[in-house]
Amino acid sequence: MHSNLPSGINQQWLASEAGPAIEVLVIKNSWCDAVIACQGAQVLHYQPKQKLPILWLSDTNQFQRGKAIRGGIPLCFPWFGKHPHQPDLPSHGFARQMEWQLQQASENIQGHHLSFVLKDNAATRLLWDYGFEATMDIHLGNQLEINFQVHNTDCQPFEFGFAWHSYFAIQDINQTQVHGLEQLAFLDQLSPDGGYSHVETQPIRFSSETDRIYQQAGGHYEISSGQESPIYIDAPECSSVVVWNPWAEKAHRLGDIPGDSWKHMLCVECGKLDKANVLLEPGQTVSYQLVLSR
């Protein structure tokens, strides 16, 4: 239980038939409404006042503790996708499936600020045997600001990758464009030829399953969809971007993207992954920022 939470933050529990409930914090202020799960320090909902929600969340989540939540902004850390050497380890690392500790919560005229921390423990050491301290600072105001910081508390250097696997709420994938990645080489993970040989000269449009990795991204993007107001994404320190939509067949196989809801979600995932992984020396700290707005 969290004591002395500022006004506008309420603690709730998302019940699961499969085990213990997941704790969430429900935030309401003059600027926005939001929900954050303490598991993964994961923002599940963010809606600026008088505007449409920015994030998509699956209606079929079971909210089972220790299982990844489909939607919102999961953090993939300390690796993205399959582990490069041990494919039996959890996909996208362990940070999104572990309980983060709320260190601080405050409110001012600009909104609410919450700070979560995840430190190495027996469970993380079984998967990744390094000492670390990860911090997620989340500001909820007229825009959503997330600062992710990693500190190496070990006596040896380590390499990590990460991405905010953000699920954005859109009107219709068939009427959606992503601006800001024009003229950049990308890896089409669905193409048999592989390699960063593909280049898009126009804003990205969607007509089938899409899974692209950009490694020289500029950090500023816009999602436009139908008549809805655009979503703006700023992640200036993140040179890697993944653009993903599963389309109908894969959404059905995944099992937790029900019906045609795949038409109303799009992932634009900012981070540092693969060739852009980060090498952090003992005692060093590195930080990254993600800002979302409409």
Active site members = 165, 269
CA distance 15 to 19: 8
Two tokens, residue 7 = 């006004």
- Backbone φ, ψ for residue 124 (5° rounding): -70, -35
Cα 247 versus chain centre, distance: 20
Q: How many beta carbons lie within 10 A of that of residue 195, not counting itself?
A: 9
CA distance 118 to 127: 14
> Do the beta carbons of residue 292 and residue 231 sit within 8 Å?
yes
Which residues lie below 8 Å from residue 114, measured CB to CB, with a gap of 6+? 9, 25, 27, 36, 102, 104, 105, 137, 138, 140
HSE-CB at 134 with a 13 A cutoff on CA atoms is: 24
CA distance 237 to 258: 34
